[in-house]
Amino acid sequence: MKFKLNLTGSKCNEYPQLTILHNQQIVYSGPIVDSTEVEVDLCLQEFNLIALQGINKSQGENGKWDTQLDSNGMIIADKWLSINNIWIDNISMGPEWVKSLTLSDDTGTQQFLDRTWWNNGSISFSIELPLLDWIINEKFIKVEQNIVASHDARSGERKFDYGYIQEKIKTIQTLIND
């Protein structure tokens, strides 16, 4: 299976690092320089744990800080890493799915809503077989359950929204049964 990430890294002293693990084995480790794509081939098993670890921020160790401030205390340079998108076997999981992932760092655990690492941390998720069933469930069912949008705010890009389609099917079934 091809696992590809579109990433953006911002430098302060050095670029952020990313390590990708598949079932606790390192399959990629390196700096993320500006806008970068990282692609690895994974040999899937029945259960697959993917862990993304970043960003190797020094937090002042040995006098090295990865955030620079101006004289007014405003950030002028910072080390950070954004995940713009993830593809699994050339299928885009999309930014909404990336936002639904959970980031664990030294401040706790939270949803990855802005898709950016500001501190050292990790994101873990599992991929299960059959792969296409997992992708459909993750991308179209779980993500749609987390998105709240009124029908009045619905736009063309959401016309295939799983929840919306399920609602329409129920309406049609009710009409048929009456």
Q: Which residue has 């002293």 as its token pair?
A: 13
The pLDDT, as a whole number, for residue 159 is 54
Examine the domain organization and report whether 86 and 162 are in the same domain.
no
Examine the domain organization and report whether 159 and 87 are in the same domain.
no
Examine the domain organization and report whether 128 and 172 are in the same domain.
no
Domain interval for residue 108: 2-147
R_g of the chain computed on alpha carbons: 20
Examine the domain organization and report whether 128 and 61 are in the same domain.
yes
**Tens of each residue's pLDDT in the chain, 178 residues:** 999 999 999 999 899 999 999 999 999 999 999 999 999 999 999 889 999 999 999 887 888 888 888 899 888 889 999 999 999 999 999 999 999 999 998 888 998 988 999 999 999 999 999 999 999 999 888 876 665 444 444 445 555 566 767 777 787 777 777 7
Residue in 134, 105, 144 with CA at minimum distance from that of residue 121: 105
Residue 99 has phi, psi (to 5 degrees) of -65, -25
Terminal Cα distance for the chain, rounded:
48
CATH of the domain at 24: 2.60.60.40
Examine the domain organization and report whether 40 and 120 are in the same domain.
yes
State the total domains in the chain.
Answer: 2
Q: Which residue has 């799983």 as its token pair?
A: 162
Examine the domain organization and report whether 120 and 153 are in the same domain.
no
Examine the domain organization and report whether 14 and 63 are in the same domain.
yes
Per-residue tokens: 160 = 């295939």
Residue in 122, 94, 92 with CA at minimum distance from that of residue 108: 122
Examine the domain organization and report whether 15 and 86 are in the same domain.
yes
Distance CA 15, CA 3 (A): 22
Examine the domain organization and report whether 135 and 161 are in the same domain.
no
Q: Which residue has 């930014």 as its token pair?
A: 95
The pLDDT, as a whole number, for residue 162 is 67
The pLDDT, as a whole number, for residue 121 is 94
Examine the domain organization and report whether 72 and 89 are in the same domain.
yes
Q: Report the predicted TM-score, pTM, of the whole model to 2 decimal places.
A: 0.78
